[in-house]
Amino acid sequence: MAELSELEKKIGVEFKNKDLLLQALVHRSYLNENPNFKVKHNERLEFLGDAVLELVVSDYLYEQYPQEPEGQMTAWRAALVNANMLFDIAAKLGLGNYLLLSRGEAKDINKARMYLIANAFEALIGAIYLDQGIEAAQIFIEKNVLVELGRVIKEKLYRDSKSLFQEEAQDKAGITPIYEVLREWGPDHAKHFVIGVFLGDELVAQGEGMSKQSAQQEAAKEALKVKNWGS
């Protein structure tokens, strides 16, 4: 467990149950090649960690910014918990070096790998929560995620394409955009999505991505060009 103890030092958390930390690092593809491995893959932990992350960030914003409207807090939260941000944070911790992947996945250095690392970061939060409770998870999230809030606000990182298109659509057309999956393919760990953004019945634009979130962002970016809205 030498590598795990090294990671524990980096994240500032010493696990009571080391298997939870190990499970957070196991991708489904690794078990395809190692079916008798002692822990399961990290998808259930990712599910849990995603919920814990959203709760902690939401609670922090609610308490610290009592004058801010829901829409503003939602935009800030989205900027803090999206895959790009989580990947950047995980990269600072070197989390990708500890992932257990199939030989094929380990060789790939692409956008899909970025999502695997971001997902593992959420799984790590889920593991911390199960091992030590909400307070430990909150401390970890404050130290690694909420510390980025100042940069999000200063650099207006919350002004993503999806948010901008929604603002413009509501202002200019009085309609809230709707996003629908038009096509999807690939295995669970490497899905690909094509998503359309609609204003009423009008399909304004389409976007592709390795997650629904990224495909929505691409669709919104194209829709802003189509409508010639925003800057």
Domain with CATH 1.10.1520.10 in the chain: 2-154
Select which of 50, 105, 168, 218 is catalytic.
50
- Check: CB of residue 96 under 8 Å from CB of residue 113: yes
Section 143-155 average pLDDT? 94
Q: Is 50 a catalytic residue?
A: yes
Fold of 161-227: Double Stranded RNA Binding Domain (3.30.160)
- SS3 percent helix, strand, coil of the chain, rounded to 5, is 65, 10, 25
* Confidence at residue 111, expressed as pLDDT on a 0 to 100 scale: 63
Q: Which residues pair with 184 in a beta bridge?
A: 193
Does the model's pTM come out above 0.85?
no
- Check: CB of residue 209 under 8 Å from CB of residue 215: yes
* Confidence at residue 107, expressed as pLDDT on a 0 to 100 scale: 60
Per-residue burial over 174-194, b if 16 or more Cβ lie within 10 Å, else e, is eeebebeeeeeeeeebebebb
Pick left, alpha or beta for residue 197 (phi over 0 → left; psi -120 to 50 → alpha; otherwise beta): beta
Report pLDDT digits (tens) over 112-134: 688 899 999 999 999 999 999 99
Structure tokens at 217: 């962002």
> Which CATH code is given to the segment(s) 2-154?
1.10.1520.10
Section 31-39 average pLDDT? 93
Q: Which residues pair with 208 in a beta bridge?
A: 194
Q: Which residues pair with 194 in a beta bridge?
A: 183, 208
Is residue 193 scored above 70 in pLDDT?
yes
* Confidence at residue 1, expressed as pLDDT on a 0 to 100 scale: 40
Contacts 24+ apart (CB under 8 A), 101-107: 101/27, 101/29, 101/30, 102/27, 102/29, 102/30, 102/32, 102/33, 103/33, 104/29, 105/27, 105/29, 105/30, 105/189
Is residue 64 scored above 60 in pLDDT?
yes
**Which one-letter DSSP state was computed for residue 26?**
B
Report pLDDT digits (tens) over 154-176: 877 887 788 889 989 999 999 99
Domain with CATH 3.30.160.20 in the chain: 161-227
145 against 154, higher pLDDT: 145
Closest residue by Cα to residue 133 from 48, 62, 19: 48
- Check: CB of residue 29 under 8 Å from CB of residue 22: no
Q: Is 188 a catalytic residue?
A: no
Select which of 122, 131, 168, 218 is catalytic.
122
